[in-house]
Structure 1
Amino acid sequence: MIQRLLTQKNLLLLTVLLLPLQGLKAQESVTFTAEAPRTVVMGQQFNLVYTANAEVKDLRIPEMSDFEILMGPSTSTMSSTSIINGKVSNSVTYRITYVLYPKKTGTFTINGATATIKKETHKSNSLTIKVLAADQQAAANAAQSTASQAGRGTTQVGDDQIFIRAVPSKTTVFEQEGLTVTYKLYTRVDISGFENPKFPEFKGFMAQEIELPANQQWDLENYNGSNYRTAILKQTVLYPRETGNLTIDKGSFDVILQLRVASPRRGSIFDGFFDTYQEVKKTLYSNPVTVHVKSLPFGKPADYSGMAGQLSMTSTINATEVTANDAVTIKVTLTGNGNLKMLPTPDLTFPQDFEIYDPKVENRFTTTAKGVSGSKVIEYLVIPRYAGTFEIPAATLSYFDLSSGTYKTLSTKPYTLKVAKGKEGDQVVSGNFSNKEQVRLLGSDIRYLKTGFSLRKPAVLMLGQTWYWLTYALLLFFFCLFLFIYRKQAKANADISRVRNRKANKVAVKRLKLAARYLAEKKGEAFYEELLKALWGYTSDKLTIPLSRLTKETIDSELAAGNVSEALRGEYAAILQACEYARYAPAESGQAMDELYKKTLEVINKMENTIKK
């Protein structure tokens, strides 16, 4: 009995200690929000609702001079109880409703309201409400159309009742200046489904599709004096790669309409009760769009990147004083808005004695209706092999600034790198061997001498035998041969450029195999990216030019010096351009991708047989 009383006492004490914590948790989880339609029509009232999960006291709503309060505040309470795994939880929702009436058309903001909840002041979110003009004429036309349909017993819907618009954000742009095309559905009738969307191909543009939210809501919009329910079907950011007038063709879209079929009964108040609904398929076509693309002004800088937009460039280095054979990393960050995915890698020039690795590129891009924005981070890794003081000059990159209408040049910082002598000397010879060996003694380090044996003089000395000297001669010959091959291999391995040259075709074939796998899996962007890596990597290895210094102009001049014909150089450049554009343009057919893959194999094989290094 005493033990039971002690247990109850402990439970009571624990409950008293936990009550403040529960109150604190409840206090932290207070919610107070405001809700109202985003769009309303002039002449129609709507509800403004404040919702909280605890009792609301001293509610103070903001001044709403653009709206008339018809009714309110009206308070309602809803409570619920749930039991999960034997744990009982209660929740209460308080709703305070005002009925508002718009005084004029336009876009208005209702600031947040304040209220005292659990002895603390809380503020709700603000709201932006768009008031559309009333479409009395359109409503009259719709009523007349409905009455006509009911009289004829048909289910035809006029083109002014539902349609699709292609809405460009701009119709006049510069080359490589982005614009957004929005495909929007306008309807005054009910829709039960969609079928066979066929959006146009954006010929002459590089396209970046904007990801739309999965749970899109209908919105209201006034168009040509009529109010429609609207929904965005597709949004795409386009970057023109040609000048002149570019036309975006019309697209098609099948919608399933749910139309009300009037009852044949006449003159009864129950006519609407006997009406039925019929599903009707209607094909909608979007309007074609013509965009005028202006050429960029004369006077492009030599290092022009091909980008139009806004851009900034910064650079950092991990250390300016190192020892020989220590890694040095320079990070360059490009930040801006525009066709960032086509932005080239800045060309950093390093001393000839540095071991240079391919730069690591990380893209952090976001595509919205305002275009592609974000940053491109490039890390350059080099290893100085000798002691001394070295200069790394600034790298430059130019672009066309849309806000000022001029070309602007950005540059990284120049760096002075002091390299001290390493512990093992300045010079390092590369090879497939190690300059340190681990020696391991098997068995014990002291051996016992064998005793109890006798020596005797041989009958014939080996020193005077012919086979003895012949054996020495053969051993000497094989030693010299081994030494010759060993030194030749070490010398060849020390020349990294020659090693890369010999393995260029092998590495390219390996990358092409990966591209073939992406082709079979119909992963278009990955296929084109791997194809580009194979082409750029092959020419970098074959021409012994680091990727950071590789440009189309450099490739063309080096291939010409390597006795590559102009026709073959043209095929190579065409494949490069096709891959770069196809990565960001609308997806091509599998047959086109297969033909491009075969063409790439053919061009690499021809170049392998032509270039002599």
Structure 2
Amino acid sequence: MRRMGLVIILLTFVSSLGFPDEQISFSASVDKTKVSMNEEIVLSLSISGTTNVSQPVLPPLPDFNIYSSGRSQKISIINGNVSTSLTFRYILIPKKVGRFTIGKAKITYKGKVYTTQPIEVEVVPALISQSKQLPPPSSSEARAREVFIEQVVDKKKVYVNEQIRLSFRIYQSVDFLENPEYHPPSLTGFWQEKLEEREYYKWINGQRYLVSEINTALFPISPGKYTIGSAGLTCTIKNDSARFPKSIWDWDPFTEFFGQAKRKRLHTQPLEIEVIPLPANAPSDFKGAVGRFSLSVDIDKKEAKVGEPITLTLKIKGEGNLKSLTSPQLPSLSYFKQYTSEGETKILSSDKVIQGEKSYQYILIPQKEGDFTIPAFTFSYFDPQKKTYQRLRTEAISVHISPSPTSPSTSSLSRKSARENSPSFSPDLSPQKNYLLVVGNKIGKGIFILGEFLYTYRFSLLFLLIISLLLLYLKRGYRRYKERRGKERSARRRFAYTMLKRRLREIDRYMRTPDEKKEEFYALLFRALSEYLAECLGVSRAGITIAQIEDLLREKGIKDELVRRIRACLEQCESQRFAPYQDKDAGVRLSEMRTIKREVEEIIKQLRRCGIE
């Protein structure tokens, strides 16, 4: 409260003094003139003497990706003299290596055009490893290296299905103000498995960094040359310019409240991987396993009776792509019924390799008594360290099968003798009475067996009844929940479409002054389309990106042509907000605004026809 009161007093005092009507100055500066491909340049356009100006017009910068980093305003009073300044900041990310010129930016104030001086910058290749010892940095370079990233692999030439460890490392010497956003690379042509993440500290050029490491195991699917795409990071850190004021006249309320955060966007260079085919002399039972493995077999019993199942368990342990392994073939066994279960995989990943075991169970049911031998299992794999094929073999297992305790002939004779000795047995009955007696005996026997079963398993049956009723209740509740959620989603989508139409009508009044309201026009159009898509796709509107919208639309089955049109429309809105028109009159600008607005309306019509709502 005391600080806010000071701000009000200060602004009141400044307004009472008034601002002198003087010439303004317009200048450009960069935080560094030499950067690597995985770094960014901060371009600052400063206007002193007034704050009542429109956004500067940037020069053409085809060799950079441009992002707006906001604006800051400063008012200073020194010896009774009032001075003002306004700074626009932009993030420039280089697209290629070389020397480039940042051309003249311009503004128009009271009918006069002001321009900045060109700035020369140099972009050099990205460092292979940021952890190498570098020359001691200057103070500005040290600030620029508060956060940097790298992406490395442990090997660039591998065999098919051989593991590659991909490591993405974040080096930070300052705290993040919010959770950073990781943009993973494109990994086409690789089987992927997550490895453990690591955090540790490392000293580089006398600076202590916290290193966060994201590790991924990659297994190439086929031979050839592949590219691991560029990875990126978006983070927010505290602005170095924020400092404690030496006096009340040196205190800047705008920097105090709005200049505390700095947003950085970093990206790495792609990596080239060469995948070579496996040697041609593969064993006959080789099925593509690459790594280092061991093989073992276990049996639950070596003596059994006819019809009694025997469980045989085969385990493959080691390092490699365990999920891609196929079960070894069980040899054909006479006098045994054979059943094979699906393999069970247990992954024990570290931060370096994928390791674990995969087990298979074979159920053998003997059909005949005697002594039998279960043949040995074999398993072949390729060892990339030894560069040779290896073949594993288990020991053969002997089992003894004894006859079943009862035989059909003995059982039949005993049942016949018992029936003949029974008091109710009477061979002299008439055929009709004999038939009724047989039917009655069978019915009574069935009732007796049913009663005995119900009594024996009464608790189990009661438990199953309770479970069945509970499942029916849950199913009914879940159906009601889905119906209620469906109605809520339908209502939200109808509301989103209503808000979209309202914003499109609101956009029309920005088109009356295309020179002054261009930024608001494209910002509102981007917001209207992105929020409508987010609501229809069932995701949060906060923080959704164009890439996420594109992926979700493809998952919904939207045609690629329409998805590309949506992405192009959103990117055009985003770029037009921060890259103003160059040498275009108001008529051309108005025509472009109308064109993109009609494109958005046509996109909405096609999406509704596709049933996205």
* TM-score bracket for the superposition, by shorter chain length: 0.3 to 0.5
Output the TM-score relative to the length of structure 1. Answer: 0.43
> With structure 2 as the length reference, what TM-score do the two structures score?
0.43
Higher relative helix content? 2
